[in-house]
Amino acid sequence: MEDDKGLDLRNVFSLHPSGNGTLMRGLRHLCRSLRAALRKASRRAPHLCMEWSGGRPPATPVPDGYRVSDDRIEAAAWAGLLNAGGGLGPWDEQRLRLETARLVPDTQVFLTHGGLPVAGAGVYDRDPGSWEIGWIAVHPEHRRRGLGEAVTRLALDRALDLGPRTILLYTEDHRLDALRLYLRLGFRPALRHRSHRRRWRSVADRLPSEAAAQVVSSLQAPHMTPQTLPESVGQCSDCLHIRRVASERGSVFVLCRRAAQDLAYPRYPNLPMSDCQGYEPCAVDEED
């Protein structure tokens, strides 16, 4: 009796004279499909963006039993807080060092309980034109106690004490409780990606009526239209990633936000721009 040859693909080819070509075509098709899926995943829509609408919020009392920590929090405890909820990805001390490299000094806020950090947020300098309130976290065992609101307000106060810039934060479509909180604090939708308008509409459908009305009203506001730049600057005139920056002397510059994440793009492009690979028209909505 001939020994079992198992899963040796050479045996499969030998069973069917035309098997080589058919199988190879199938493998090539599979590889193309996998590459397409990977490209789609790499281009997945970024987080939703929210922009502070102005003014200074009233002070929020820290809930009883918690205190604002003025002490230095150990990296392991900080990473543990970010890991606790499971929604911010895996954290260790190495990632913490990388992510907090843009943290503005003296702006990280912690609320502690029993000496351990249970809520935190900080202000990040990732873009020359904005301050970002980032890595807002509340330990799952301490939620529903007002800590998220308290720590976000404290971080917002520190951002407002910095230079005059737009104040942003980023969040995800499914975090409806967080979205309601940020809307209540005065943050409003900001369209920083072609998918954002459509996604904010979907979010509004899932929010309570008052919060939904705030979203819809923001999407209809004049500031949601593309920034006014002359057509003489080329593609930058209506690009989603362009910010109009005015100096104290009245000079106007065109700042490319893509440069903050990709060094292939110049921070201040040479104008007029006619063939930019990163160009996305601000007025276009991505379809499903």
Residue 256 within any structural domain of the chain: yes
Q: What CA–CA distance (Å, rounded) separates 248 from 192?
A: 26
Question: Looking at the structure, do residues 143 and 212 belong to the same domain, yes or no?
Answer: yes
- Cα 93 to Cα 81, 83, 139, 234: the distances in Å are 12, 11, 18, 44
Average pLDDT over residues 56-73: 85
In sequence order, what are the residues at sequence separation of 6 or more whose Cβ sits closer than 8 angstroms to the Cβ of residue 47? Answer: 170, 171, 172
Other CB atoms within 10 A of residue 213 CB: 13
Q: What pLDDT digit, counting tens, does each position of 128-177 carry?
A: 888 999 999 999 999 999 999 999 999 999 999 998 888 999 999 999 99
Average pLDDT over residues 99-109: 94
Q: What average pLDDT score do residues 201-212 get?
A: 94
How much is the pLDDT for 248? 59
Whole-number CA gyration radius for the chain: 25
Question: Of 222, 238, 262, which closes a domain?
Answer: 222
Higher pLDDT, 29 or 282: 29
- Supply the range of the domain harboring residue 21: 9-39
The pLDDT-based confidence of 288 (bands split at 50, 70, 90) is very low
**Peptide bond before 272: cis, by omega within 30 degrees of 0?**
yes
Residues 137 and 95 in one domain: yes
Q: Which residues contact 181 (CB under 8 A, 6 or more apart)?
A: 148, 149, 152
Task: Please identify, among 189, 222, 255, the residue that sits at the C-terminal boundary of a domain.
Answer: 222
pLDDT for the residue numbered 59 = 78
Q: What percent of the chain is modeled with pLDDT above 90?
A: 45
Please tell me whether residues 52 and 174 are part of one structural domain.
yes
**Are 203 and 256 members of one domain?**
no
C-alpha of 117 from chain center: 24
pTM exceeding the 0.85 threshold for the entire prediction: no
Q: Are residues 199 and 232 in the same domain?
A: no
Asked whether residue 88 carries a pLDDT value surpassing 70, the answer given is yes
Q: Let me know whether 81 and 213 are in one domain.
A: yes
Q: What is the domain count for the chain?
A: 3
Q: What is the DSSP letter of 193?
A: S
- Identify whether 1 is part of a domain: no
In what helix (H) or strand (E) does residue 15 lie, and over which residues does it extend? Answer: helix 9-15
Strands in 114-241 per DSSP E: 116-127, 130-138, 166-171, 187-190
Q: What is the pLDDT of residue 249?
A: 62
Residue 3 lies in a domain: no
pLDDT tens, residue by residue, 255-276: 888 887 778 888 888 888 888 8
